[in-house]
């Protein structure tokens, strides 16, 4: 029985009903009322917000500007259309007014650029749907210039006869709040669902400005260094669980749910995280999930179990492995010492004969990132007459000694699986140096063209049968 069975488990229906802790029913309270009142100024009150609620909470800034700009001349675009169109250009990628310029140099950056566009478009939709907003036409704010460019027609509007001297400051604050929100949401694949705690700060940290420093740190890595899972984790916790900012992890739990790598629910995302309304730990205190093995290179190794059969590269294995019976995630608080410094999260796999094993999710994430996949260019129809050692996935996972599995005598080791959960578990159990993941239509010959071919070193091939390979990271096709 899984540890989460006491409470109603959260089941990831997209991944063979993987159980992820127990269900929560978190509710985003929003502002609880107007965010701008005459004489009180504007701010986001303390509470828990969705992205849409934050956009609605910032709307009085835009409405203040529009009210003062007055009636639109007939036959021309409305001021609302022009100002929202400018915001859309600020939130887009590749425009003159873009607030974010991401070099398209690798798959992770390409994914993040696409994420920025997707988030920006959704924020614009939210902004376009806001109505019946209370605002103060006399409101003023000192909003430092943040370099958000205006389209020429908007510049003419904001600095022309219809405008007032202070309106550009108010509009600038609106633009900046939306840009900060977009950038804060970049780590989350399902950003619309994330519940964001807001502490009601004013002054320099008003609204989303409390994210300024973390945004600077994240964008510096995104644009000048290699984007890592660590940097995405840091950006995510800085928004919704800043107590965990000093820990190096890959996921976490906070008051409103858990945040895990997106592949847990079957995503092919390279780096993005997934908000899940479920609790994995038994504590109300935020906890970080970190890898049990910090440096896999010096980790203990284990020799792979004996093969079920040996075939030639062109042959079809006759062996069929055990089917998966159940799988779940649970916290292992004993594996990383002090829980305040982070805990390990284990993927439990139970086969049809009731044999069970647990694999560290952090090592699974690492193995998934490092695994090779066959591309169109690497695929080939030729193959050498080399022996292939066919192993049982259940034996590799359960009967191997403690440590990351390898083969001291080298060779090609094939493990056939029908379950993406079992494939993930194997990625966390095998030493992640030369592992290839094949789809059902790919062959050992294809695997021989990818990965490393060092003399005497093993090559592990995980081939997924009827299951799809969509849990693997996106790769560049050129």
Phi/psi of residue 150, each to 5°? -105, 145
* Strand positions, DSSP E, 366-477: 372-373, 387-391, 404-406, 411-417, 435-438, 458-464
Q: Which residue from 472, 464, 471 is spatially nearest to 321, judged by alpha carbons? A: 464
Phi/psi of residue 358, each to 5°? -130, 135
Average pLDDT over residues 48-54: 98
Q: Which residue from 264, 257, 196, 194 is spatially nearest to 25, judged by alpha carbons? A: 257
Q: Which structure tokens are listed for 51?
A: 């992205």
pLDDT given at position 2:
43
Say how many CA atoms lie within 13 Å of 136 toward its Cβ: 15
Round the average pLDDT of the chain to a whole number and report it: 91
Give CA–CA dist 297/461, Å, rounded: 20
What tens digit of pLDDT does each residue of 198-238 get? 998 889 999 999 999 999 999 999 998 889 999 999 999 99
Helix (H, G, I), strand (E, B) or coil at 427: helix
Q: Note whether 157 and 82 are within 8 A (CB).
A: yes
Give CA–CA dist 384/361, Å, rounded: 35
Q: Which residue from 70, 72, 26, 34 is spatially nearest to 50, judged by alpha carbons? A: 26
- Cα 262 off chain centre by: 5
Q: Which DSSP helix (H) or strand (E) runs through 295? A: none
Q: Note whether 471 and 268 are within 8 A (CB).
A: yes
Give CA–CA dist 314/412, Å, rounded: 13
SS (H, E, C) 89-133: HHHCCCCCCCCCCCCCCCHHHHHHHHHHHHHHHHHHHHHHHCCCC
pLDDT at 378 over 60: no
What tens digit of pLDDT does each residue of 4-50 get? 445 788 988 777 889 999 999 999 999 999 999 998 899 999 999 99
pLDDT given at position 477:
42
Phi/psi of residue 58, each to 5°? -90, -10
Phi/psi of residue 206, each to 5°? -65, 145
Location of structure tokens 């924020």: 123
Percentage of the chain surpassing pLDDT 70? Answer: 94
Average pLDDT over residues 384-390: 85
pLDDT given at position 382:
52
pLDDT range class, residue 3, cuts 50, 70, 90: very low
pLDDT given at position 58:
98
Higher pLDDT, 334 or 6: 334
pLDDT at 261 over 90: yes
Give CA–CA dist 84/105, Å, rounded: 30
Give CA–CA dist 340/290, Å, rounded: 11
66 burial type by CB count under 10 A (0-12 exposed, 13-18 middle, 19+ buried): middle
What tens digit of pLDDT does each residue of 280-318 get? 987 778 999 999 998 999 999 999 999 999 998 878 787
Location of structure tokens 């002090």: 338
Q: Note whether 256 and 26 are within 8 A (CB).
A: yes
What tens digit of pLDDT does each residue of 135-186 get? 999 999 999 989 999 999 999 999 999 999 999 999 999 999 999 999 999 9
Q: Which residues contact 467 (CB under 8 A, 6 or more apart)?
A: 417, 418, 419, 420, 423, 440
The two counts, helices (H) then strands (E), for the chain are 11, 22
Q: Which residue from 10, 17, 6 is spatially nearest to 350, judged by alpha carbons? A: 17
pLDDT given at position 62:
98
pLDDT range class, residue 349, cuts 50, 70, 90: very high
Q: Which residues contact 83 (CB under 8 A, 6 or more apart)?
A: 62, 65, 66, 154, 157, 171
Location of structure tokens 């309304």: 277
Average pLDDT over residues 412-425: 94
pLDDT at 373 over 70: yes
pLDDT range class, residue 449, cuts 50, 70, 90: confident
- Cα 429 off chain centre by: 23
Give CA–CA dist 301/434, Å, rounded: 14
Q: Which structure tokens are listed for 289?
A: 């999930």
pLDDT range class, residue 1, cuts 50, 70, 90: very low
pLDDT given at position 408:
94
Residues across the chain: 478
Q: Which residue from 171, 190, 178 is spatially nearest to 68, judged by alpha carbons? A: 171
Please state at what angle helix 229-240 crosses helix 212-224, rounded to 10 degrees: 170
pLDDT at 82 over 70: yes
pLDDT at 363 over 90: yes
């Amino acid at each position: 029985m899984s540890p989460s069975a006491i409470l109603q488990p959260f089941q990831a229906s997209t991944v063979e009903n993987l159980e992820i802790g127990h269900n929560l029913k978190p509710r985003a309270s929003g502002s609880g009322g107007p965010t701008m009142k005459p004489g009180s100024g504007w701010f986001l009150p303390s509470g828990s917000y969705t992205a849409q609620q934050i956009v609605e909470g910032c709307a009085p800034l835009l409405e203040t500007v529009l009210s003062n700009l007055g009636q639109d001349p007939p036959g021309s675009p409305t001021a609302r259309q022009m100002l929202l169109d400018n915001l859309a250009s600020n939130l887009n990628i590749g425009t003159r007014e873009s607030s974010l310029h991401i070099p398209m140099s690798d798959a992770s950056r390409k994914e993040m650029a696409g994420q920025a566009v997707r988030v920006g478009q959704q924020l614009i939709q939210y902004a376009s749907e806001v109505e019946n907003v209370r605002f103060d036409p006399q409101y003023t704010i000192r909003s430092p210039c943040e370099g958000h460019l205006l389209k020429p027609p908007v510049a003419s509007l904001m600095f022309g006869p219809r405008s007032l001297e202070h309106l550009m400051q108010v509009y600038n604050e609106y633009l900046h709040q939306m840009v900060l929100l977009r950038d804060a949401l970049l780590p989350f694949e399902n950003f619309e669902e994330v519940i964001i705690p807001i502490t009601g700060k004013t002054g320099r940290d008003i609204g989303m400005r409390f994210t300024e420093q973390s945004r600077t740190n994240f964008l510096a890595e995104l644009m000048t260094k290699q984007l890592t899972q660590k940097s995405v984790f840091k950006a995510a916790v800085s928004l919704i669980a800043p107590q965990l900012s000093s820990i190096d992890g890959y996921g976490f739990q906070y008051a409103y749910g858990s945040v895990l790598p997106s592949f847990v629910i079957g995503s092919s995302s390279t780096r993005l995280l997934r908000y899940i309304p479920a609790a994995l730990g038994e504590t109300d205190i935020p906890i970080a999930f970190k890898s049990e093995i910090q440096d896999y290179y010096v980790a203990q190794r284990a020799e792979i179990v004996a093969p079920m059969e040996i075939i030639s590269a062109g042959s079809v294995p006759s062996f069929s492995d055990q089917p998966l019976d159940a799988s779940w995630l649970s916290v292992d608080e004993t594996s990383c010492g002090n829980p305040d410094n982070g805990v390990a999260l284990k993927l439990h796999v139970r086969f049809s004969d009731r044999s069970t094993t647990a694999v560290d999710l952090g090592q699974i994430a690492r193995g998934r990132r490092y695994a090779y996949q066959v591309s169109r260019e690497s695929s080939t129809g030729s193959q050498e007459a080399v022996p292939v050692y066919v192993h049982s996935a259940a034996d590799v996972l359960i009967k191997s000694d403690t440590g990351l599995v390898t083969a001291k005598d080298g060779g090609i080791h094939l493990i056939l699986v029908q379950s993406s959960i079992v494939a993930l578990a194997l990625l966390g159990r095998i030493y992640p140096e030369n592992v290839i993941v094949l789809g059902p239509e790919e062959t050992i010959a294809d695997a021989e063209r990818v990965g490393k071919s060092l003399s005497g070193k093993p090559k592990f091939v995980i081939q997924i049968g009827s299951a799809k390979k969509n849990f693997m990271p996106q790769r560049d096709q050129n």
